[in-house]
Structure 1
């Protein structure tokens, strides 16, 4: 009987050890977020063209043309500038965003009709950006430190297998109580995000489509589709002409450069 007892004790010790060192859902959620962030480091700077399609509840559309410049910042969040080219009534409007890891993001909006730069207050960042279904806070870089995490489960997402992770914003002024993100298990790309409002009701869903790889490492979507479930409105962002390591610097991302954005 001794070999059986010995084997049983060994099995119990293995189970105990595995339970002792098992990750909590919070630890696994954070680990997934860190890995996703790590795979998107080192791109330095980028430019891209964007078409924004706004669609109301009746399906009527209005289309805007934009350009986006981004700068990777070491030890902090990224910087970006979004510039409207068309239609004529919004041409020259530009948004400058300084994302931060732990502090509130800084954002400024240049309105050419008023010829002035307006600072976006932290408590207003949950508001819609230029009539779209994207909030100002959606346009900041999604730094790991902006959320706490909770791994929920694995789930198929199309042809891929995804981690499903709940993330809770740390910013008290966020318009969301939580977000649920689907992240593919191979490349750690975000495939879908559900946004829940301050009443904890599902507000919006953002789908990422047509990922392409650049510089042999960095994945970017061709389309981002934001659906507002409460209003029936939607906004599609179609991306093109991605370019990386173009030589952009801090001087291209200042409040004065907003006024020169053409």
Structure 2
């Protein structure tokens, strides 16, 4: 998710496939949009950023603020998937809690969480990744990258999205134990940034909506959202992620992403 979307997801409208649009099926067009979006976000090597996680009540009040650091390592050709690490820095009751994710192109991702109070690293079972992460409206699954091969796609329509126009694409998880029956994603037609995602639960009911805004461009190529707001429609609760500046291609030591190193972050 945080290669975003976590996400990360030219000033001209894109032709998303070599074949003319009229000859494409809705499934082909939907996948072509996702493939082009992924292609545009290739080559950042690694990234670092700090962020605030703001938890909100159904009444619209703020119930907690947490400070985190985030790191990500892009997969290189011939390797399986991106790796990401988030570490809580404050407040004290969650300090040094860390979540490590290994994304895989096919099948279930691997995740580990370090719990300082227990002084142990725990592997997250794939069946438990739909659960809420640290009391937020994000699930463990939401912290994994949307690898192309892990979904089927269908273009639904193009429509206005704020001041932009968006491709509306349905994506259905193909991996086991997803908490979602489907997702509806809005890609703006100019930059193919994911502006919004609707998540539907296993019963097919709308569960959550993630809205991404405050986009900034890095290295003249890579767009990152600095304000991501998740609203749970079934509970009324919210979680907002407010990101600081991103730094890319900083030379992060890959050893940082070893599960055995989680207790030393």
TM-score exceeds 0.5: yes
Contact residue 71 and residue 249 of structure 1 kept, 8 A: no
Question: For residue 45 of structure 1, what is the aligned residue in structure 2?
Answer: 46
Unaligned runs of 5+ in 2: 1-18
Normalised TM-score (structure 2): 0.90
Question: For residue 251 of structure 1, what is the aligned residue in structure 2?
Answer: 255
Question: For residue 30 of structure 1, what is the aligned residue in structure 2?
Answer: 31
1:137 matches 2:141: yes
Which of 104, 108, 133 pairs up with 1:104? 108
> Bigger radius of gyration, 1 or 2?
1
Contact residue 46 and residue 246 of structure 1 kept, 8 A: yes
Contact residue 212 and residue 227 of structure 2 kept, 8 A: yes
Question: For residue 179 of structure 2, what is the aligned residue in structure 1?
Answer: 175
Equivalent runs, 1:122-201 vs 2, <5 Å? 122-201=126-205
Which of 68, 71, 77 pairs up with 2:70? 68
Root mean square deviation, CA, Å? 1.5
**In structure 2, how many angstroms separate the alpha carbons of the residues matched to 1:147 and 1:248?**
30
**In structure 2, how many angstroms separate the alpha carbons of the residues matched to 1:167 and 1:76?**
21
Displacement after TM superposition at 1:60 (Å): 3.1
Which of 89, 92, 95 pairs up with 2:99? 95
Contact residue 107 and residue 176 of structure 2 kept, 8 A: no
Q: Deviations over 1:145-182 (max 9, x none)?
A: 11100000001101111100000001120000000000
Aligned length: 244
**In structure 1, how many angstroms separate the alpha carbons of the residues matched to 2:152 and 2:98?**
31
Q: Deviations over 1:185-244 (max 9, x none)?
A: 111100000000011000000000110000000000010000000000000000002111
Contact residue 108 and residue 176 of structure 2 kept, 8 A: no
**In structure 1, how many angstroms separate the alpha carbons of the residues matched to 2:80 and 2:183?**
22
**In structure 2, how many angstroms separate the alpha carbons of the residues matched to 1:125 and 1:145?**
19
Highest RCO, 1 vs 2 (Cα 8 Å, sep ≥ 6): 2
**For 2:246, what is the secondary structure of its paired residue?**
strand
Unaligned runs of 5+ in 1: 1-17
Displacement after TM superposition at 1:256 (Å): 1.8
